[in-house]
Structures are given as structure tokens and as C-alpha cells.
Amino acid sequence: MNRAVTLDDLMLAGIALAAGLLGAFLSRTLLRWLAKHAKRTRWSGDDVMVDALRTVVPWASMAGGAAAAAAVLPLTHTVQRHVNQCLTVLLIFVVTLSAARVVSGLVQTVTQSRSGVAGSATIFVNITRVLVLAIGFLVVLQTLGISIAPMLTALGVGGLAVALALQDTLANLFAGVHILASKTVQPGDYIRLTSGEEGYVVDINWRQTTVRQLSNNLVVIPNGQLAKTNMTNYTRPEQHQTVLVQAGVGYDSDLEHVERVTIEVVAEVMTGVAGALPDHEPAVRFHTFGDSRIGFTVILGVGEFSDQYRIKHEFIKRLHRRFREEGIRIPAPTRTVALQQGSVVIPHQRGHEVVQGGGPQHV
């Protein structure tokens, strides 16, 4: 347009701007009311979406009012195009930020609703936020008329070089994503690796997994190494465990009596020691005719992995005391030692004397 700006044009432009501002105010008031109702629901995802809309809708209303005002003014085609581009870029920028907030908020909501992943939700939130922002940046460039094909090609070549240079870091990153997504290991689990490391998983981030040993030392394990090694998880699928304790009695013992006394001790430990399972059914299984004893296994129930040390400690003490009270003998191992140079070969127990030509010797 080549005509001059008239008073009517200015009035129409002012009305358009005022309508945009009024729409922004009304929409923000409505969304504030919706936000109060969203907080009453149990799902936190609606809070994230309403909060994002409180940013997008007012800005969209103001941008629409500005675009309408520019349309009624007698601007040249070039100026009109630049104004529309600026408003479009502004709107895309606001929508991109809001979309990144919504997506990252929803991802964080989902991860926090799943036990064990809440403490490591940052890795998923950051990845989704970066992806949404990158897509919005490309859309802005396309809107401004800048071809993104060469940029994508350069990014592809550069990305390949970066991937080769940072292959260990990327391996740890994707291994961490796989570990968290598969839920094979989660913070709070007690794990043991074939390389010897064991302890409670404290945190899993984008690069490494931190394990706290029973001695309160922290062991940092790269996620790539954790994904490749054989691992035992003592917390899954159940935290409750059974512990085997090996014992033995002499051949002259009454096995029915031994079993009855042992079961009584197991029941006493299960109900009187912290960390034991009171509803655990006592179990004693004889299994071996040894050289000097009849071996049997006692099965104990523990609440979680670290409880086994305290429970085994108490059980062995109480079982030993009861066996002494009941007259049940726990024989020491018997060995036959052959001494040369004319010595006498006799079976003996540890601490007995062996007679040789030079006099008695302790073995």
C-alpha cells in the first residue's frame, strides 16, 4: 500500500491491539481458575499442561492482536512480511519453550510415579527438553527462509565425528537409559557384580551408577561396564530372602532330637531378632554323612540382604548354647596324619599329640 495512514487506520489498529490484550487477560484469568481445580486432582500432569497454557495462550492472543493491527495499517508488502515473520518467530519461540516444559514435566511425572526411577528422572527430562528445543529451533530457521538441509548434513557429519570421539561417554549414556527403562536396577537395590563390587545402588545418572558398600564407601561404576557385566540383584523380584547355614552333629546324636531343638532355635530367632521374618517356616535338612559328622542345612528367612549377618550371628550363638544344654555334640574334624621316619600313624583330632621317635609333637 502507498496511501498515508489515516485516523481510522490507527483506531482499527488500536482496537486490534486492545482486543489482543483483553484476550490475553481473560485467558490468563480463566487458566488461573483452571489451575486451582487442576491442583485438586491426583494426577500432576494436568498441572503441567495448564501451567504451560498460561504462558502460550496470552502470548498467542497478543501476537494475534499485533498481526491484526499490522494487517489494517497501510504497510508495504515487505514490511508486512517482516512483521508477520517476527510475530511468527515469537509465537514459535513461546510455543517451543512451553512444549519443552510440558513434555519434560510429563516425563518427570511419569518417572516419579514409578518406584525407584524418581531419583534418576533428570536423564530423561534433559533428553526430552533438548529434543523439543532443537525441533523448535529448526522450525524457526525454516520460517525465516533459511534452508536447514545443509545444516542437517553438517550436523550429521559432525555428529558422526563426535560419536566416534565420545563413544565411551555415549555408551554410558545409552546404557544408563537402558538400565532405567528396563528397571533391572533401581536406586535402593542391593547388587553384586562378578568383578566383586557390591552394595546398595544410590544413584543412576547419565554416565555412572553409584553404589554404597556396607562399609559406607561409595563405588562409582560406569553404566557401560554395569550393562556388560553379570550382576546379581538381591532386591528383585523380592526383597525377602532365605539364608542357608551349614552345621553338623556327631554320629551318636539323635537326629530327631537335633531337628526339634534346631527348629525351636530358628523359631526363636525369627520372632526375636530385628530383620527376621516372623512368618518364616523353620526348615532343617540333613544331607551329608561326613568323615566325622552328619551335616545339615538350616534355612533362615531375612527381610533384606544386610539383615543376614545379624541373624546368622544370633542363630549360631543360640544354637551353640542350646546344643551344649541338650548334650548334643558338635565334633571337631578328624584327620589321619602320616609321619615318616618311623613315626606311628594314628587318627587324631586337632590339638592331639602325635608320638614320634623324638617325643610327642602337637599337630
* DSSP class per residue in 209-235: EEEE-TTS-EEEEEHHHHHHS-EEESS
Q: Which residues of 107-128 are buried (b: 16+ CB within 10 A; e: fewer)?
A: bbbebeeeebbebbbebbbeeb
State the alpha helices, DSSP H only, in the chain. 7-38, 45-72, 77-112, 122-143, 149-165, 167-182, 223-228, 255-272, 307-326
Residue with cell 491426583: 42
Query: 175: closest CA among 233, 122, 226?
Result: 226
Number of residues that this document lists for the chain: 363
Taking only the tens of pLDDT, the chain with its 363 residues reads 456 667 776 777 788 778 878 877 887 788 778 777 777 776 666 676 777 777 777 777 777 777 777 776 776 677 777 777 787 777 777 778 777 777 777 776 666 655 444 445 566 677 778 888 888 888 877 777 777 777 778 777 777 777 777 677 778 877 877 787 777 888 888 999 988 889 999 888 777 889 999 888 999 998 888 888 888 998 888 888 889 999 999 999 999 999 999 999 999 999 988 888 888 888 999 999 988 899 999 999 998 888 899 999 999 999 999 999 999 998 887 666 655 555 555 554 544 444 444 444 444
Cis peptide before 282 (omega within 30 of 0): no
Under a CB-based contact definition with an 8 Å cutoff, are residues 33 and 68 in contact? no
Q: Which residues of 53-83 are buried (b: 16+ CB within 10 A; e: fewer)?
A: bbbbbbbbbbbbbbbbbbebbebeeeebeeb
Question: What predicted TM-score, i.e. pTM, was given to this entire model?
Answer: 0.54
Q: What is the pLDDT of residue 327?
A: 92
**Which class for 32: exposed (0-12), middle (13-18), buried (19 or more C-beta within 10 A)?**
exposed
Between CA 322 and CA 330 the distance in angstroms is: 12
What are φ and ψ of residue 251, in 5° steps?
A: -70, -20
334-337 and 353-356: which strand pairing? unpaired
Under a CB-based contact definition with an 8 Å cutoff, are residues 331 and 292 in contact? yes
Between CA 122 and CA 130 the distance in angstroms is: 12
DSSP string, 81-114: HHHHHHHHHHHHHHHHHHHHHHHHHHHHHHHHTS
Residue with cell 552394595: 199
Between CA 100 and CA 44 the distance in angstroms is: 16
